[in-house]
Amino acid sequence: MQKVILYYKFVPLTDTEATRLWQKTLCEKLNLQGRIIISSQGINGTLGGDLRDLKAYIKDTKSFTPFKGISFKWTAGGRGDFPKLSVKIRDEVVTFGATA
């Protein structure tokens, strides 16, 4: 069974590149596709794949202390809803469009 998960967590991250590499490797190992944004403010993602693989992703992600209390929402869909896997570092984990 295919599903999609959506999630975000505002939490200070000091090594965004290490977090990006870990998340990319984890998703590739589990054959997940979608989009993950990482910033010094936290993580925001939408991933699709097999139910079993998504559950493994959630377990591994929650094992990282800063992401321990992260909440995941489930929705219909699957890996095919995303053309590829994208794991990027951005200035903001959620873009608010505010100007300084």
Within-domain flag for 97:
no
| Residue-number span of the structural domain to which 22 is assigned | 2-89
Residue 76, classed as helix, strand or coil, is coil
Tell me if 21 is assigned to some domain: yes
Structure pTM?
Answer: 0.92
> What are the C-alpha distances in Å from 74 to residues 2, 49, 97?
11, 11, 27
Structurally, the chain folds into a number of domains equal to 1
Region of 97 please: left (phi>0), alpha (psi -120 to 50) or beta: left
Q: Is residue 20 part of a domain?
A: yes
Average pLDDT taken over every residue of the chain: 94
Task: Output DSSP code: residue 39.
Answer: E
What's residue 75's pLDDT?
97
Q: What is the CATH number of the domain that holds 68?
A: 3.30.70.100
pLDDT, tens digit (0-9, with 9 covering 90-100), for 47-79: 999 999 999 999 999 999 999 999 999 999 999
